[in-house]
Amino acid sequence: MDELAGILDGIPVDDQIIILNDTVCNHSGIIRKTRDLVDMYLARDLAGTVIFNEQPHYDEAIFDRFMQRILYDRSHRMLEKMEPYLQHGGAFIAVGASHLPDEKGLLKLLENKGYEIIKVY
């Protein structure tokens, strides 16, 4: 939890204010978009989650910095933490669905490290 809370430390305060303002002003839209994202997850539509995550929800430069910090940088840290478990074999690791797809996602990062990705669900 400390790591997740610490993510905001690396985001400029001005960006945080814009993100917070957007969240408050567009609450109903965010709830609707969250439901759409859950539906994509349940439908196993990882490509849809990529498209969803690439849509700026506010100023594009701020959005890009936010996504880099909260999604892509975290995916790299997750990979570092999971590798010792993967090397022992038989690991079961759960991550948020948005961390899986795309060229910057965990599936591709694992493939690039030589792991074989097999879809089981």
The pTM (predicted TM-score) of the whole model is 0.77
Q: What is the per-residue pLDDT across 28-72, written as a single tens digit (0 to 9) for each? A: 988 998 899 899 989 989 888 888 888 877 788 888 888 898 899
- pLDDT for 114 equals 93
- Residues 22 and 16: their CA atoms lie apart, in Å, by 10
- pLDDT for 1 equals 62
